[in-house]
Structure 1
Amino acid sequence: MPASAPAGLDLSELERDALTELVNIGVSRAAASLRKMVGRQVLLSVPEAEVVSRRTAARLIGQREAETLVAVRQDFSGAFSGRALLIFPEGRSLELVRAVVGEALGEAEMRGLEDEALAETGNVILNGCLATMANMLRESLTMSLPEVLRGDGSLLFELEQEEAADGLVLFLYINFAVLERDIHGYIAMLMDLPSLAALKLLVGDFIARVMGPDGEEAGDAG
């Protein structure tokens, strides 16, 4: 984790592993929902978690995708708060809509349904992921309505706000692809440092619950 993270807010190896596992379970649950929607297997990468600036988060996405991006954005609040993004290269968004609504519709009809279908897909995936994580942490979250955005990483991560541009955030990043479909994208979550501090405490409580007194995994873990 970068040295720029304030003292006390960097995650230990055990905390990072626990957080990665929480995210992995949440995203796997969300992927199962997506699989039902598109009728194809969904492949996931191992989640990556880093404390970076918003500018760096935007650059990480930009390094992977040169074209315009489409994103479904939802804010979440509760014991920890932040913003979740389901991100696609623009050229893949119609393919996702086609997979969700079926092959019968023409391109003009699909374009008319594009934002609605993307928002619904994002809502299912992001809600599924975050609700699962919160449930495992014995908390609940409130989600905003999904919003569809188009632009580059600077727009998605709101780098026009200079005060926020260099502020540190927890950047959780997962790559996914739909088998037998030309669909791939990313799930990203941004949390500011106060939320990271709250999440760190919750992760610590989670570790204490699933680990026995001798440091071994407890028999009733999960």
Structure 2
Amino acid sequence: MAFDESGHDEPTLDELQLDALGELFNLGVGRAANSLSLIVKDEVELSAPSISFAYPSQITQALLDSEFKELSMVAMDFSGPFEARAVLLFPERNALAILSHMLDPNMPPEELSEFEQEAMCEIGNIILNACMSALADEFGVEFMGSLPEHHFSDTESLPLFGGDQKEVLLILQIHLSIRQERINGHLLFLLSVSSLHALLTCVDSYLTRLGIR
């Protein structure tokens, strides 16, 4: 770990580690897209995620996109070789757009919102478990996951991150497309510094098994 100007431990990954994480999460996202396609009965495309890091206190700035005001999010806790709180986060209007493809497209918005929490939990369960199961399969480990929890929030008052500077956010930006409609979202993984080290140890072991390290 290096230190930035504010004294934070700055996550420093080498190119091999970043590439490996990108490939592993891309594998998980691909599995999730296949499962979602069965639900909406149409092709779902999830882009290869881009990876960045931030601290809980910086998450508002990290999400200062014009889309990310009113939020619909699903959180799950995972334990295993490392612990992580995994969060799937969409702007509220994008969440409703996804639901419109899962349910009757002619359903009025006020009726759609009645199903939002249950449907978003199902979507979050699929995407977050697909990502963690991809890591588990490739690392040769096991994770235990909690039941998904749905939350409404806004960019300024995210309820899931308390600003503990001993924790790090691994941020994956994803683009979900259904019937040519592009929907932006984020996958967030909240890790303690020790869990981040454990994750990177798993990545290094994985690279060694592949003969890359």
Residues 194 and 157 (structure 1 numbering): CA distance in 2 closer, same or farther, change over 3 Å? farther
- 2:174 corresponds to: 175
1:58 to partner: Cα distance: 3.1
Residues 1:37 and 2:36 are matched in the alignment: no
Q: Which amino acid aligns with 1:173?
A: L
State the Cα distance separating 1:71 from its structure 2 match.
0.5
Out of 121, 124, 127, the position equivalent to 2:123 is 121
TM-score (norm 1): 0.82
Identity percentage of aligned residues: 30
Offset at 1:183?
Answer: 3.2
For 1:88-121, what per-residue CA distance to the aligned partner results, in whole angstroms no more than 9, with x for missing partners? 1111222211211233644444222111111111
Query: Take 2:174 and 2:159, find their aligned partners in 1: how far apart are those partners?
Result: 17
Return the letter of the residue paired with 1:151: S
2:21 aligned with 1:19, yes or no? yes
* Shift of residue 154, structure 1, vs aligned partner: 4.6
Q: How does 1:192-203 map to 2 (within 5 A)?
A: 192-203=192-203
* Residues 1:31 and 1:155: Cα distance change in structure 2 (over 3 Å): farther
Specify the alignment match of 2:113 in structure 1. 111
Q: Name the SS for the 1:184 alignment partner.
A: strand
CA drift at 1:199: 0.8
Describe how 1:80-159 pairs up with structure 2 within 5 A.
80-103=82-105, 105-156=107-158, 158-159=160-161
Structure 1 range deviating more: 149-158 or 108-117: 149-158
1:20–1:49: 8 Å Cα contact kept in structure 2? no
Distance 1:55 1:199, change over 3 A: same
Distance 1:54 1:64, change over 3 A: farther
How far apart are the structure 2 equivalents of 1:130 and 1:154?
A: 28
TM-score for both structures, normalised by structure 2: 0.85
| Gaps in structure 1 of 5+ consecutive residues | 216-222
| In 2: Cα distance, 1:187 partner to 1:110 partner | 23
Q: Cα–Cα, structure 1 residues 102 and 183, in superposed 2: closer, same or farther, change >3 Å?
A: farther
Give the match's secondary structure for 1:188.
Answer: strand
Residue 2 of structure 1: how far off its partner (Å): 6.6
Report matched runs for 1:62-73 at 5 Å: 62-63=64-65, 65-73=67-75
Q: Distance in 1 between matches of 2:126 and 2:142?
A: 16
Query: Do the aligned partners of residues 21 and 2 (structure 1) sit closer, same or farther apart at CA in structure 2, a change above 3 Å counting?
Result: farther
Root-mean-square deviation (Å): 2.5
- Number of aligned positions between the proteins: 208
User: Judging changes above 3 Å, is the alpha-carbon distance between structure 1 residues 24 and 64 closer, same or farther for their aligned structure 2 residues?
Assistant: farther
What does residue 211 of structure 1 align with? Answer: 211
1:191 paired to 2:197? no
What amino acid sits opposite 2:37 in the alignment?
R
Residue 190 of structure 1 aligns with an amino acid whose one-letter code is: L
Structure 2 equivalent of residue 56 of structure 1: 58
